[in-house]
Amino acid sequence: MIAIEFVVIILCLLVGTRYGGMGLGLISGIGLFILAFVFGLAPGKPPVDVMLTILAVIGCAATLQSAGGLNVMMQFAERLLRKHPQHITLLAPFTTWMLTFLCGTGHVVYTMFPIIADIALKKGIRPERPMAVASVASQMAITASPVSVAVVSLVSILAAGHGVGQAWGILQILAVSVPASLAGVLIAALWSLRRGKDLADDAAFQAKIADPKQREYIYGGTETLLSQRFPPQAWWSTWIFFAAILVVVVLGSIPALRPAFEVKGTLQPLSMNLVIQMLMLIAGAVILITCKVNPAAISSSAVFKAGMVAIFSVFGVAWMSDTFFQAHLAELKMALEGVVKTHPWTYALVLFLVSKLVNSQAAALTAVAPMGLMLGVEPKMLLAFFPASYGYFVLPTYPSDLACIGFDRSGTTRIGRYILNHSFIVPGLIGVSSACVVSYLLVQTFL
């Protein structure tokens, strides 16, 4: 019966991914219904704390986008890239990494892709080199951002503790995940420097630009944000957002600054989940009031739409998976506890595969990490293998990868004949595996 129930979950995930994040959340409801009504499993608990925190972060980031703050950040990024075009393959991934780090979502970097492609072409560099690794880097940064859904989810899961070891706070998580993520991006970027043929030696590319119309399409037009002039409110919104992130990090690193309340007879500092929720709501409110934001524009922004899809995906997937794992915890512990304790890398492998199934780092974490804790995986091992939550580059179906392919007019960033041999697979594998190794070494050395 356990095997049949597990097959139901996998089928729901496989079918759901065909319809995107919303489809994943909706179809997970079918799986939950089958588990409860057909197999008689008591429904688990949806991750309400995580969802509310995501909602607060997305609300603030969407307000920032509506105020023009995201364009301010991207203009700075473009200025850096155009100042050093010969280093585009190294600078582009760190630029997209930083944008995601600051904003908590990889969906803010789409505007950078045509700019990266334009700079590479003008410099005679194969666009695939910087573009593919830039797309990968924008998603790897999610595990390093203090306001990302994935980091918030891990903070919440470790704070719950499940009675296993120490619950690591946001500062300890970032102290490991930031250098690990950066190391992974650097190694993937260094590999990308020599990938593929130079444009001058690429017979397929040269044949394409032999057609005057194709040449005009590939080399014509320049995508840029440099000519734009932003009102003072756009700049204010950026600094307000940065200030909120700084306060989150400070309060997370110094628990004594947070008010303490009695919980089960002991005084405990206010949960960082609630702190993040409060500060994101406050920052969004200050931006809304002081930066002349049209309230109607917030809910129609790209960040808000992407964030709501993420919430729905986490809601359905986590509720369905928690129902299964809670019902069979005793059996799973007996079968798997010894394996995951002696070979914690198996947890990383499961997290990586589930991430591909659900196309979300946060959804993968909320589905797999609590199970890992309950099976006896140490909290520090969850942190050590945090980078493995990014596995959805394996198939080129994620929106950022598809957008990257679409913006590369040269056609060098592409999906291969055999699907898996696409432009993102090798930099993704190099980046994630390197980040996991660095993260594991940092955890073993300092925690």
Instruction: Encode pLDDT of 4-63 as tens digits.
Output: 998 898 888 778 767 766 887 899 899 999 999 999 999 988 878 777 877 888 888 889
Give the burial string for 151-160 (b: 16+ CB within 10 Å, else e).
bbbbbbbbeb
Of the two residues 163 and 438, the one the predictor is more confident about is 438
Nearest to 412 by CA among 131, 72, 154, 223: 131
Domain extent listing, the chain: 45-446
3-class DSSP state of 261: strand
Q: What is the mean pLDDT of the chain?
A: 85
pLDDT at 89 over 70: yes
388-410 tens-digit pLDDT = 999 988 877 677 787 788 888 88
Tell me what pLDDT residue 87 has. Answer: 94
Q: How many other C-beta atoms can be found within 10 angstroms of the C-beta atom of residue 267?
A: 9
Q: Please give the C-alpha separations between residue 272 and each of 74, 168, 170, 249, in angstroms, as whole numbers.
A: 29, 11, 8, 10
Task: Determine what percent of the chain is predicted with pLDDT higher than 90.
Answer: 32
pLDDT at 184 over 80: yes
Tell me what pLDDT residue 74 has. Answer: 84
Nearest to 174 by CA among 404, 447, 372: 447
Distance in angstroms (rounded) separating the CA atoms of residues 79 and 324: 50
319-362 tens-digit pLDDT = 887 788 778 877 766 666 666 777 888 889 888 988 876 777 88
The encoded tokens of residue 55 equal 């909602």
At 433, is the pLDDT very low, low, confident or very high (cuts 50, 70, 90)? very high
Nearest to 179 by CA among 144, 203, 138, 211: 144
Tell me what pLDDT residue 435 has. Answer: 97
Tell me what pLDDT residue 316 has. Answer: 84
Q: How far is CA 327 from the centre of its chain?
A: 29
Tell me what pLDDT residue 404 has. Answer: 83
Of the two residues 427 and 22, the one the predictor is more confident about is 427
pLDDT at 239 over 90: yes
Which residues share a beta bridge with 385?
Answer: none
Q: What is the mean pLDDT of residues 170-178?
A: 89
Give me the helices (H) in 168-231, please. Answer: 170-192, 203-209, 212-219
Which residues share a beta bridge with 269?
Answer: 260
Tell me what pLDDT residue 362 has. Answer: 82
pLDDT at 365 over 60: yes
At 185, is the pLDDT very low, low, confident or very high (cuts 50, 70, 90)? very high
Nearest to 61 by CA among 228, 242, 233: 242
Give the burial string for 46-79 (b: 16+ CB within 10 Å, else e).
bbebbbbbbbbbbbbbbbbbbbbbbbbbbbebbe
Tell me what pLDDT residue 337 has. Answer: 63
Distance in angstroms (rounded) separating the CA atoms of residues 399 and 404: 8
Tell me what pLDDT residue 165 has. Answer: 46
Tell me what pLDDT residue 93 has. Answer: 96
pLDDT at 163 over 60: no
| Residue 101: burial class (beta carbons within 10 Å; 0-12, 13-18, 19+) | buried
Give the contacts of 425 (CB within 8 A, at least 6 positions apart): 393, 394
At 147, is the pLDDT very low, low, confident or very high (cuts 50, 70, 90)? confident
Of the two residues 364 and 447, the one the predictor is more confident about is 364
CB-based contact 370:321 (threshold 8 Å)? no
Tell me what pLDDT residue 162 has. Answer: 45
